[in-house]
Amino acid sequence: MARQRMAAWMVAFVTVLGVAAAAGAQTREYTVQPGDTLYSIARRFGTTVDELVRLNGLADPHRLQAGRRLTVPGPGQGGAASARVHVVEPGDTLWSLARRYGTTPAELARANGMGQEDVLRVGQELRVPGPEQPLRLRQVGAVSSRGLALVSLARRFLGVPYRWGGTGPGGFDCSGFLYTVFSRMGVQLPRTSFEMFRSGRPVPRAQLQPGDLVFFTTYAPGASHAGIYMGGGQFIHASSAGGGVRIDPLSKPYYSARYLGARRYF
């Protein structure tokens, strides 16, 4: 009897060790370096911004402090075991293909060794990871991931000077900044803030998500200024008064009094 109990205990002990080892193999740690964003870290480790937010319980994914330790997926996690091939056609973007095949832009980019902002070439062959899934299963996650990726891209332009009519790289006006950021994500916006406000889907202020456009009445009646909502009550924009691309809170009295509305383009 004692020998049987000992054998059972050993089996249980080995099982626990195996489960712990498997769990440890699924994740690892990364120390945030100066200049890192969730988007750049997700690209480095072949994962998504949403997954990093989930693994680390991040309340404000836009603020990363150098030296912070993040949990990231381990080697081999999230790979594309069963992939198909899609030949790029005119008008295709990573975002439109992700919607078509029930995946995410991050997964498509990772499967093809490219960045989410890269431009596709007509005739290019892309590996499409995983079996096709209904869009409704992934729609919320895809929208959230796309908005966070767009915000991470927009942050790269912090400090670029304001220039009337500018679309970069030497300077931006407010709509030129939005036009350039969205273009790099495969979304074509109208050129002016007035036209942007007339397009897109209206979004109530209480339902703002990262990547939504926020509009203000400033130097002229109507949507004469615009920025990108980042989450946490903040937005990023090319400010003439601020001298360039900067981050401000929506609660700042100047902008709060002039807030006009928001639009969503994805």
Q: What does the chain come to in residues? A: 266
Catalytic residue among 43, 62, 184, 225: 225
Q: Which residue has the tokens 């712990």?
A: 20
Q: Which of 62, 146, 184, 237 is catalytic?
A: 237
R_g over Cα of the chain: 22
**62 is an active site residue:** no
- The burial of 33, by beta-carbon neighbours within 10 Å (0-12 exposed, 13-18 middle, 19 or more buried), is given as exposed
- Cβ 236 vs Cβ 245: under 8 Å: yes
Rounded Cα gap, residues 74 and 71, in angstroms: 9
Indicate the helix (H) or strand (E) that contains 24. helix 2-26
Both tokens of 240, joined, read 């003439």
Active site residue 86: no
DSSP per position, 43-63: HHTT--HHHHHHHHT-S-TT-
Among the listed residues 174, 189, 228, 262, the single catalytic one is 174
Q: Mind telling me the catalytic residues?
A: 174, 225, 237
